[in-house]
A and B are shown apart, each in its own frame.
Chain A
Amino acid sequence: MTTQLPPGMQLEKVDERIMTLNVGPQHPGSGHMRLIIKVDGDHIVSCDPDPGYVHRGEEKMTEYRNYIQNIPHLERPVIHDSCNILYPYCLAVEELLGIEVPERAKYIRVIASELNRCVYTLYWLGIYGIFLGHSTMFMWPMGDRELLIDLLEALSGARVTHAYFVPGGVRNDTPSNFEEKCLRHVNYFEKRLKEYEDIFYQNPVLKQRTEGTGILSRMDAIRLGTTGSVLRSAGVDFDIRKKEPYDVYENLDFQSQVLKEGDSYARSRVPYLDMLESCRIIKDALKKMPKSGSVRTKLKPNPKGGNNEAYRRVESGRGSLGMYVVSDSKPEPYRVKISVGSFRNMICMPYLLKGEKLGNMPAVYWSLNYWPVEADR
């Protein structure tokens, strides 16, 4: 009896020309995942991503905890983007339980989620820089991230795992001097982003290296089901903040960032443009935010949702992040299905890397805006 072994464990015919490389899980150029790459000289013949090294059963864990207890562990897959991963959960639970969110809380949520998107994108950008051998681009974002983390710390008290969003609003109100501090930091951050443009995005060596590599056409991007920056870099104007606005995004003034090229350079540039846009959103939201008022609708202890279901999605740092919450009249949800952008973007990796040069592997791989821990959930 022959059993089909999982990829990477099969015995294969030894070929003189083609060499198999295991990029990961202990490789400086991989995340918590493995890429099985076959190279013919300098060209990649095939690429087989092998995720699942950090699977922790988040979805199953939700079934044993009630709606409030689920908050801290649900943000674990992306601790850099914890506000955005809690956002769809809070929206869905609010829909299930029928809770109204105060106006001020909605604005605070938008500010926190945009700040967190910048924090995540800076981390991603730092790693993109070091993957391309640009060590300054690793150090600068890591340093500037601290300012935004300080803001989030002032809001929530925690530096990375904020657990700030709760069904019914946010956990606590902003500190008294938050608005001016936020404005100051965001203004400085915008200035720094211009410097990133000079040293990184307009760098001739970087442009030479990433432009025209790993091209994802518009139709392929739609067909493969990519989301977020990957989809928008391929010329599809699909930003959930614009298309299905949640909370107060419809009141705010911003553009969805779309590029047409669909290559690694465009894919790495869309998150950068998103950061600039996030600064605009934060400043606008600070202006329009009600200056006082409640920030949280109190829930009943141990709330139960009826025989009901709700699906909400938001635009996270890595694209669409949706949560499908099913309730069966118990304090615990019956099922929480998390649909993440990382996994959907990872799917196009074999298509993009096939036929590329080995030197393009990190450029294409990390431009997909893929966070392995989130993909595994």
Chain B
Amino acid sequence: MSTIAPEFRLSRFIASLTDLIFWILVLFTLVGLPIVMIVLFYIELPVINGELLTPYLALTWLADPSRTLPIIKSLLYTDFFRIAAFPGFGFAALLASAIIFIERKFLAKMQLRVGPLYCGKVEGILQLMSDGLKLLSKEIIIPAKADKPIFWAAPLLFIGTAAALVSLIPVAPGWVVADIDVGILAVFAVIGFFPIITVLSSWASNSKFPFIGGIRALHQMISFEIPLILSLLGIVILTGTLNLTEIVESQQHYWWIIFMPIGAIVFFITLLAELERIPFDLPEAESEIVAGWLTEFSGMMYGLVQLGSYVKLYAFAALFTILFLGGWNGPMVWPPFPEEIITEGITMGPITVKIPGLPLLDQEMLNATLWFVIKTVVVIMVILLPRGVFPRIRIDLLLHTGWYKLIGLAFVNIFIALALLYAGVLGPGGLIQ
């Protein structure tokens, strides 16, 4: 019998569980309960509306919607909620996991397959969860000669940078984590971090294939950052602002893709390259360099990098939506909130409940979010499409595309924007407002 993996026995497992429960109970009664009593003895309970707030009263209030809903509402407008949940990381991660599922089914339909089918009974909807559990339960193996601190930090840095990109994206009017006046510049700054992380992690792993993959990623990202920046200059020229929220507001009547289709195409191609998606997945080219810069990552480290790359995918698709497709602008389709619930209440059999604080989010915000999500998902589908159609491109052809063709096209786009500005068609004081 090996000492590393002893034989599993159910009786021993149950015995260890009962042991654990026994000790938890003993420790809680001997240590935990006295501590709770001491705390309750010394803390002065607050008096609210002339009533002493005992723990029992607090529990009673939790069941009362007229008291809890305002608390939830005030929570919705805190910075913590924005960063962690709605326009920030939680929303992005949720959408990213939806993207993974959509990608699998979509690609499977293109390739005459069925995709995930069994996990979760309905069309394999829980496949992602099982994959996540699998990655969590796997052992993390680190190469012996790796530079361990940097190697450990790389997945966290990657996902952190992706989240930083998400924080700059306005989803609905007023719903953005960081509404700064140099939004586009900040986007460029954050994008500039990705090649650094890639190269650091690949170099730190001290392995040949990751090293080649990291160098490839560096070449690819740096040479595509220039057309990326240039393709967005047209919009900046015409709107006269770098603030992403103001750029969205400038597209209330028309989208920028109508006037700058060349810029949109250039931005879309550079976006594919930045995201390392097919046909530009050279840093992860499987048949040449195993898995590129991801080769030495294992277990949840790999899972984090993958999650980060899908969050990044969402962020780039959202940027495309904001800059070229009018962001949240769209016709009002969200039904208005029925006011009777507040004034007359909901009748449930014999009981009528009035819920004054109910409309947690206003109609406009929900409508804006709906349009934003629809547009972003459409853009994501278009980003996923080349994976079923194109093979991988070669590095010299990639650099040729980036440096010769895309930069040239980006300049053409800038000249178009300048012409529209000086002809007085668009821009401040133009014909079309």
Contacts and interface: CB of A to CB of B under 8 A. Distances in A.
Interface stretch (A7-15, A132-140, A226-234, A310-318): A132-140
Contact of B287 (A28, A208, A357): A28
A197 interface: no
Contacts of B387: 135
Given A42-B395, A132-B391, A135-B111, A27 B208 contact: no
Contacts of A360: 394
A174 B192 CA distance: 66
B399 to A, nearest CB: 10
A39 B215 CA distance: 14
Given A29-B288, A131-B287, A139-B113, A206 B282 contact: no
Contact of B394 (A19, A137, A359): A359
A268 to B, nearest CB: 11
A205 B395 contact: no
A358 interface: yes
B393 interface: yes
A143 interface: yes
A21 B209 contact: yes
Given A139-B111, A139-B113, A203 B391 contact: yes
A136 B110 contact: yes
Nearest to A19: B208
A51 interface: no
B14 interface: no
B113 A205 contact: no
Contacts of A21: 208-209
B175 to A, nearest CB: 37
B344 interface: no
Contacts of B289: 358
Contacts, number: 85
Contacts of B113: 139, 143
Given A29-B288, A205-B279, A359-B285, A136 B392 contact: no
Contacts of A132: 287, 391-392
A133 to B, nearest CB: 3
A135 B388 contact: yes
B406 interface: no
A358 B112 CA distance: 32
B107 interface: yes
A361 B111 contact: no
Interface in A95-152: 129-137, 139-140, 143
A362 interface: yes
Nearest to A361: B288
A205 B272 CA distance: 15
Nearest to B393: A205
B123 interface: no
A209 interface: yes
A199 interface: yes
Nearest to B287: A29
A42 B111 CA distance: 32
A42 B110 CA distance: 33
Nearest to A22: B208
B288 A130 contact: no
A205 B111 CA distance: 19
A28 B292 CA distance: 12
Given A133-B281, A139-B113, A209 B290 contact: no
B279 A133 contact: yes
Interface string A8-44: 0000000000010100000111000000000100100
Chain A interface SS verdict (over half): helix
Given A133-B285, A133-B286, A139-B113, A206 B395 contact: no
Interface in A320-377: 357-362
B392 A357 contact: no
Interface in B393-430: 393-397
Given A205-B393, A209-B391, A359 B288 contact: yes
Contact of B395 (A28, A131, A208, A357): A357
B368 interface: no
Contact of B282 (A131, A136, A359): A359
A53 to B, nearest CB: 18
A209 B397 CA distance: 8
Contact of A358 (B288, B390, B392, B397): B288
Contacts of A203: 389-391
Contacts of A359: 282, 285, 288, 392, 394-396
Nearest to A205: B390
Nearest to B112: A143
B111 A140 contact: yes
Contacts of B388: 135-136
Contacts of B288: 29, 358-359, 361-362
B212 interface: yes
Interface in B306-348: none
Contacts of B391: 129, 132-134, 137, 203, 205-206, 209
Interface string B204-223: 00001100100000000000
Interface string B266-292: 000000000000110110011111100
Given A29-B286, A361-B288, A362-B288, A133 B110 contact: no
Contacts of A206: 391
B389 A136 contact: yes
Interface string B13-49: 0000000000000000000000000000000000000
Given A135-B111, A136-B110, A357 B390 contact: no
A358 B292 CA distance: 13
Given A21-B209, A140-B111, A28 B394 contact: no
A143 B113 CA distance: 9
Contacts of B112: 139-140, 143
Contacts of A140: 111-112
A100 B177 CA distance: 85
Interface of A: 19, 21, 27-29, 39, 42, 129-137, 139-140, 143, 199, 203, 205-206, 208-209, 357-362
Given A28-B290, A139-B113, 5 more contacts: A130-B286, A133-B281, A135-B387, A205-B390, A208-B393
23 contacts: A29-B290, A131-B287, A132-B287, A133-B279, A133-B285, A133-B392, A135-B111, A135-B388, A136-B110, A136-B111, A136-B389, A139-B113, A140-B111, A203-B391, A205-B279, A206-B391, A208-B397, A209-B392, A357-B396, A358-B288, A359-B395, A359-B396, A362-B287
User: Which A-B residue pairs are the 6 nearest by beta carbons?
Assistant: A133-B392, A29-B287, A139-B111, A134-B391, A132-B391, A362-B287
